[in-house]
Amino acid sequence: MWLTHRTFHCTSFEQAEMILSTRISRLRALRSQERLEAVGDAFASPVYSIATEEERGCLVKLSHVARKAGRLQVALNAITSANTLVEDTQTVEVDRELAHVLWAQGEHTTAITLLDKVHHRSSKKDAMIWATLVSSQTLPSFLHLQWPLTLKLI
């Protein structure tokens, strides 16, 4: 993901949003062009797949930057768009960012439930998800929920 991992130094959210929105727009144009050139319903050309992955990465980054700037509606819009680009169920970065956005919006129960579901379906049991669940300041108040949590402090 060479486009999304480039670091850029912005002094404001507006600058970061402009850069990421430009990248997203160019990637969408590239994907659209690939769709026009595709034969049949198979849009799985290598260029299309890479552009989709890059666009998803840019949307996740935009959501993260917006959330940190307190622009929760922009964050939610970006992560919702990124969610439409998820093709495999093992991609946890979108769900993790969605949980962070939900948490920032005060939807603590929904955020923790989402992180718990992501943790249980992840094949490698992502340590970051578990650390987020365990370090949650309000987690003890949610332990009365019906899903079983096994807290293993190592």
Query: Domain extents for the chain?
Result: 13-142
Residue 32 has pLDDT above 70, yes or no: yes
Q: Which amino acid, residue 29?
A: A
Phi/psi at 126 (nearest 5 deg)?
-45, 120
- Which architecture does CATH list for 13-142? Alpha Horseshoe (1.25)
Range with the lowest mean pLDDT among 32-41, 44-53, 79-88, 116-125? 116-125
Average the pLDDT over 1-22 and give the result.
72
